[in-house]
Amino acid sequence: MKNAWNSYKEELFKRLPALRDTLNEGASKAEIKAVEDKMGINFPEELRTLYIKNNGDNGSAVCGMILGFDFYDLDELYSEWKGWKDIEEMRDADDNCDPKRYTSEPEKCIKPHYVNSRWIPICGDGGGNHIGIDLDPDVNGKVGQVINFGRDEDKKTVLADSLTSFFERLTRIVKSDDLYIGEFDGENVVFLRLNGEDEVFQTDYLRHKDSVK
C-alpha cells in the first residue's frame, strides 16, 4: 500500500506540482485509534497505512489529491461518516435496501443500500458523493474493496478490489492520455476524458468500461 500511494503521489506531482504543498503530514497511530474508537470500527491495515503517510489534504486547492476529489483528513472522514451514520439510523430499513434502485457492478459485490455505516469515505466531491472502503460487501464482494457511494450514487461499482490496487490504477490513469490539466477558477485542475471526447465526472470515468483499469 505504501509504495502504491507514494508512486501515485509522485506521478500526480509531475503533472500538478502545486498539490505537493496541499498534503498534510501523516497522522499518529494514536490519532487513528481515537477515530476508530469513535466509529466503533477497526480500519483495515491499508487504510491505517495511508493515514500514517498523509492525513488528507488541506483543502487549499480547487483540485484535491484523489484525481481532483478532496482527500479527507481524519476529522473530515469522521464527520462525513457520522453524517451518513445518522441518516442510516433514521432511515427505514426497507427504504434503505432496494435492489432495483441501488445496483452493484459487478452484481452482488456491493449491498443494495442507500447508506451503510460500514462504508468509510476517504475522498469526495464536496456535494455528498464519495469514494471509500467497503467493510460490509455483498456475497460476491471483498472486504476492503473500493467503491463509490453517496447522495447521487445509486449505481455503485467496485472501482478496485483493494486500496493498493486503487492507487495503482490511479497511477496508470495519471500517466495516460485520458488525464489532462485544464484551468478552473484560476487554478490548474485534473480533467478526465474517454476516447478523446469531452471530459467526464471523475466517478463516471472510474465506473466506465472504457476507462483505464
Query: Which CATH number goes with the domain that contains 179?
Result: 3.40.1580.10
- Judge whether 89 lies within some domain: yes
For residue 94, pLDDT over 90 is answered with: no
- Judge whether 96 lies within some domain: yes
Distances (CA, A) of 109 to 25, 62, 141: 34, 33, 4
pLDDT in tens, 113-157: 999 999 999 999 999 999 999 999 999 999 999 999 999 999 999
Using pLDDT thresholds of 50, 70 and 90, give the confidence band for residue 63.
very high
Mean pLDDT of the chain: 95
Region 97-102: what's the mean pLDDT?
90
Residue 14: CB partners within 8 Å, gap ≥ 6?
none
State if pTM tops 0.85.
yes
- Judge whether 213 lies within some domain: no
Distances (CA, A) of 19 to 42, 47, 59, 171: 30, 21, 10, 15
Q: Helical H runs in 23-98? A: 29-39, 45-53, 74-90, 93-96
| pLDDT at residue 33, as a whole number | 98
| pLDDT at residue 102, as a whole number | 94
Region 63-81: what's the mean pLDDT?
97
- Judge whether 151 lies within some domain: yes
- Judge whether 41 lies within some domain: yes
- Judge whether 6 lies within some domain: yes
- Judge whether 135 lies within some domain: yes
| pLDDT at residue 198, as a whole number | 80
Give the number of domains in the chain. Answer: 1
pLDDT in tens, 171-198: 999 999 999 999 998 999 999 999 878 8
| pLDDT at residue 57, as a whole number | 98
- Judge whether 212 lies within some domain: no
